[in-house]
A = this chain, B = another copy of it.
Amino acid sequence: MADVCAADRHALTPVPQWHNPAEGVWKGVIGDMSGEIRYTDLAAERPREEAIEELPDAAFPFRADEIVYQVVDNRIVVRIPVASDEKLYGFGLQFDGLRKTGEVLNLNVDHWGTGGGRTHAPVPFYLSSRGYGVFFNTARFLKVYSAIGNRKGSPGNPTPVDRNPPAGEEQPGRWMARPASDAVEACVISQGLELFVFSGPSMLDVVRRYNLYCGGGALPPLWGLGFWHRVHAAFDAQQTEREVADFAARDFPLDVIGLEPGWMSKSYPCTFEWQKKRFADPAAFAQGLLEKGIRLNLWVNPYMSPEAGLYEKMYPLSGSHLVWLGLVPDFTLPEARRLLMDQHYEEHVRIGVSGYKVDEVDGYDVWLWPDHATFPSGTSAEIMRQSYGLQIQHMLYHELFKKHNRRTYGNVRASNGAASGYPFVIYSDAYNHTQYITGISTASLCGVLWTPEVRSAGNGREWLNRMQTVCFSSMAKLNAWSSGRKPWDFPEVSDAVRGVIQLRMQLLPYLYAAFADYHFKGIPPIRAMILEPGAGLRDKVIDGALDGEANPYATDKLVEATDQFMFGPSIMVAPFHGQQATTRKVQLPPGAWYDFYSGRYVGSDTVVTVTAEELGDRIALFVRGGSLIPMLAHPVNTTEAAYGADLELRYYGSGEASFDLYEDDGKTFDYETGNYRIRRLTVAEGVLTESLVKGDGPAMWGQATLRKMSE
């Protein structure tokens, strides 16, 4: 008989020492991190310690010896207690729900599609309903058993229940397909693992602390918040210019036009050089757009064609494997970054390109290097996969845009931990509208931005619903690279589509202030309802009916509302989607809620039904009572035209209300040296007053006029 005590060799040991690098932030290190990449190493900015100190105090949420680890079969295992009434949320941009209690997650960068934790941004960060968060700060594949997987002898295990008792036999409870466990256990195949605990006390405080520790949220240029359109991949300069002119002629807002791979001399793999047959004079083309107030964004993926001018130089600086037969640059090497950024500056940014859409840095496995690829820096393929999207964001942000004091806003298809400071918005090919709306909520829990971009639709109703959703996201974008669609393509909803884009433009002062709160205070500009104080959770247990063919384990589902969310400080959005294309239920949290359009009081702590008909084909928006919404008094078609425009200050409900309007140049990093201002708009007893809370920076908006929406 073998040694039955061998299991003791792997005894669980408390994490050796907890450091306290910032208020309410604790760090533990297991093993040797010298060969690893920490996500925080790749953060856009340093921790915003002063802002962290302004958060409420909160203690370390565990006993000092309660978080334990062991080393097993190449794996470092961490065990973190979970109480029986605790709910866990997060683990990155996930499209299948907010709550992740009772799941096993493989947190690998990947397209979303198979679920199981793999996604574009599998951020290894979870939030607890008890008001703390845990972040695994190591760029490795992480496998997480989230309150599932019971350890033998653990006191928190439930009592077993006979699944098939004979008639009349009493049971200690209902048999559960997934008995709850009393811990999160996470394992990583690595020499080292660093983990953080962020305290609250509220879940929003946890998220803010995480975002602020990672450098604060991104502050996009104002133009980034306008409307985006990506033309068909085969378009040339003239076709693109005609499409831009079409927007103006049809009175549709447009701020950014995106070119797809056909702008390059070769793509898949890429040269990063202009295709002169389509764009004979790129500088004149970009300049011509800028003169109309339109920014140019370029599609790229990182995989370099043998036809690229940089190919010979990049060859030794790239990995052992190709992607789409192109080189995979090792961007941990400064020389690889310098080569590419110099070329990008010379050929793109210098002539006016505003940013990039960085495609295909996520996978699937078939569209990436293998896990066993090697890179000249010695960085492992796994670490590269988990951090490649971050590396590229870091490179573009610092070495191309910030270096030249120009803000950028763009897209990226993979991100990960500590990414809150990056002005890059994640997108996907998954294209399920309901899942895309869920992504809006989950993104807000993990410091990433997400756009439920529109590509096409089966009918006008779906088109309008998708357009409405995207206009209340981090990036209002139509990505028509394949469909060639234009916003007005479904005539029956064309006016309604224009209407929602115009509404987004009118909301620029409100939204830009929300992003300033993201940057300076860590508050996600668009966020899950579970982060709202008092909003609570809409739990529902769907009884898993036993079905030998379809559900042989009689699996229950815990369902949470994931199809409504907060947009800025006071607006709650409830898009129509999927089977609820023209009518849906909306959960109103406690507090008074008002209809955005009419100012009518709707309810408090209740469920209401809304219909597209009663809304006049507008999206359902609700405003928290006692709120001010600063809007442009009149729609504009570009953000350039918004500068200096007068404001209408909508006032909902009653009582004193105030709003801090953030203003800067909207284009540079001068705000970092204090070159911004904050106008505090206050309404008391029906009278609007203004004061400058900070007063050094440039004015952005004009005069504000109060509009009382409610009686």
Binding site for B on A (CB under 8 A): 1-7, 9-10, 70, 72-75, 77, 102-104, 114-116, 143, 145, 148-152, 157-160, 162-164, 166, 169, 175, 177-179, 185, 187, 189, 233-234, 236, 260-262, 264, 266-269, 275, 277-278, 305-307, 315-322, 324-327, 332-335, 364-367, 369-378, 380-382, 429, 431, 455-456, 479-483, 546-550, 552-553
A480's nearest neighbour on chain B, judged by CB, is B548
Q: Is the CB of A102 within 8 A of B163?
A: no
Q: Is the CB of B160 within 8 A of A325?
A: yes
Beyond the given A103-B366, A152-B315, A479-B548, please list 17 additional residue pairs across the A-B interface where CB-CB is below 8 A.
A3-B377, A4-B376, A4-B377, A7-B378, A72-B373, A72-B381, A73-B382, A145-B365, A150-B325, A160-B307, A160-B325, A166-B275, A169-B277, A177-B367, A187-B370, A189-B189, A456-B549
Interface majority SS on A: helix, strand, loop or mixed? loop
> Nearest B residue to A376 by beta-carbon distance?
B4
Task: Give every chain B residue within 8 A of A316 (Cβ-Cβ).
Answer: 4
5 A-B pairs closest in CB distance: A482-B548, A104-B365, A163-B268, A73-B380, A164-B262
Q: Is the CB of A7 within 8 A of B325?
A: no
Most buried by B among A429, A431, A549: A549
Q: Which residues of B contact A233 (CB under 8 A)?
A: 164
| Total copies of this chain within the assembly | 2
* Contact call B552/A2, Cβ cutoff below 8 A: no
Kindly provide the distance from the CB of A309 to the nearest chain B CB, expressed in whole angstroms: 15
Residues A456 and B268 in contact in the complex (CB < 8 Å), given A6-B377, A166-B262, A320-B151: no
When C-beta atoms are compared, the residue in chain B nearest to A234 turns out to be B164
Q: Chain B residues with Cβ under 8 A from A376's Cβ? A: 2-7
Contact A7 B374 (CB under 8 A): yes
A244–B601 Cα gap in the complex (Å)? Answer: 68
Contacts A157-B325, A549-B455, A549-B483; A6 near B378 (Cβ below 8 A)? yes
Instruction: Report yes or no: B327 in contact with A164, Cβ–Cβ below 8 A.
Output: no
Contact check, B164 vs A333: say whether CB atoms are below 8 A apart: no
In the complex the two chains form, what is the Cα distance from A373 to B365 in whole Å? 27
* Choice from B2, B260, B326, B373 contacting A333 with Cβ under 8 Å: B2
- Residue in B closest to A103 when the chains form the complex, CB atoms: B366
21 A–B contacts from the bound complex (CB under 8 Å): A2-B332, A3-B376, A3-B378, A10-B374, A72-B372, A73-B381, A149-B373, A152-B319, A157-B325, A160-B305, A164-B233, A164-B234, A164-B264, A166-B278, A179-B325, A185-B370, A367-B553, A480-B548, A482-B546, A482-B548, A483-B548
CA distance in complex: A149, B381 (Å): 13
CA–CA, A453 and B315, complex, Å: 54
Q: Say yes or no: A548 contacts B187, CB within 8 Å.
A: no
- Chain B residues with Cβ under 8 A from A275's Cβ? 166
A454: shortest Cβ distance to chain B, in Å? 10
Residue of B whose beta carbon sits closest to that of A11: B374
A157 to B158, CA, bound (A): 56
User: Given A2-B332, A4-B333, A103-B366: A481 and B548 within 8 A (CB)?
Assistant: yes
Contact A548 B456 (CB under 8 A): yes
Contact A322 B4 (CB under 8 A): no
Contact between A548 and B455 (Cβ–Cβ < 8 Å)? Answer: yes
* B378→A175 contact, CB < 8 A: no
Q: Are A75 and B455 in contact (CB under 8 A)?
A: no
With A3-B377, A151-B320: A552-B429 Cβ-Cβ less than 8 Å: yes
Closest to A150 in B: B322
Report chain B residues within 8 Å CB of A326: 160
Shortest A584–chain B CB gap in Å is 23
Between A70, A261, A370, A376, the greatest number of chain B beta carbons within 10 A of the residue's beta carbon is seen for: A370
**B179, B260, B374: which contacts A324 (Cβ < 8 A)?**
B179
Most buried by B among A9, A376, A550: A376
- Complex Cα distance, B114 from A114, in Å, reads 6
Other-chain contact of A160, B7, B114, B266, B381 (Cβ < 8 Å): B266
CB distance from A168 to the nearest CB of B (A): 9
What B residues does A261 contact at CB under 8 A?
A: 163-164
Taking a contact as CB atoms closer than 8 A, the residue among B145, B166, B266, B321 that contacts A152 in the complex is B321
Check B481 against A75 for contact (C-beta < 8 Å): no
Q: A7-B374, A266-B160 are in contact. Are A148 and B114 (CB under 8 A)?
A: no
For A10, the chain B residues whose CB sits under 8 A away are 320, 374
Report A451 CB to chain B, min CB distance, Å.
Answer: 15
Chain B residues near A116 (CB, 8 Å)? Answer: 114, 365
Min C-beta distance of A452 to chain B, whole Å: 13
B267 engages A380 (CB within 8 Å): no
The distance in angstroms between the C-alpha atoms of A178 and B367, with both chains bound, is 8
Complex interface: chain B residues within 8 A of A546 (CB):
482
